[in-house]
Amino acid sequence: MSIADRQMLGELVDYADVAVRTASQLRLHQSGRAIRDAEAVERANRFLEAAAAGGAFMSSGESANLYATLRPLNWAADVHLGCPELSLESECRQEVDYSALTEFIQRVRATLEALTQGKQSDPKAFEECVGFFESLGETLGTRADQAMRRTSCPCGNMGGI
């Protein structure tokens, strides 16, 4: 595996971890537990901030708040559009309304912030927020698992062709 692949893998593993930890914290918080993993929630918030900045940039072309990569935006789009893994199916490759996507990300972020500040949020918004992080964790984790897997294959002379 090349250095560049390892870095990409590291990013997938890391963000999948942040996502599943955040989703679990929110569920536990809902059942009356205090938030113990503040680091995961804080990083999830920053992920949403980066994704929203990417979305705002894609819809307006304004790059002032843009982060160094559009990956958080694209991952958020995959989850929002329901692409479980890299797929060539047309419904996952459709044109995206980046304004609507940004609104969705901002809504998830607002719910996350409200929940971590101990405010009540309506059950639909809560499920949307937790569901987003669960799907994000699943999607990125699956991609990381695929990247780490080595398949059995022959090497050398492939039959003298």
Q: Does 151 bind other proteins (CB under 8 A)?
A: no
Q: Which DSSP category does 117 fall into?
A: T
CB closer to other proteins, 3 vs 158: 3
Q: Does 39 bind other proteins (CB under 8 A)?
A: yes
Contacts of 155 (CB under 8 A, 6+ apart): none
Place of tokens 């980066």: 50
Task: Give the CB-side neighbour count of residue 24, counting CA atoms within 13 A.
Answer: 12
Q: Does 34 bind other proteins (CB under 8 A)?
A: no
- Which one of the spans 90-98, 104-112, 121-129, 151-159 is the region binding other proteins (CB under 8 A)? 90-98
CB closer to other proteins, 90 vs 120: 90
Q: Does 70 bind other proteins (CB under 8 A)?
A: yes
Q: Does 61 bind other proteins (CB under 8 A)?
A: yes
Question: Distance between CA atoms of 109 and 44, rounded to whole angstroms?
Answer: 9
Within 10 Å of residue 79's Cβ, how many Cβ atoms? 25
CB closer to other proteins, 98 vs 121: 98
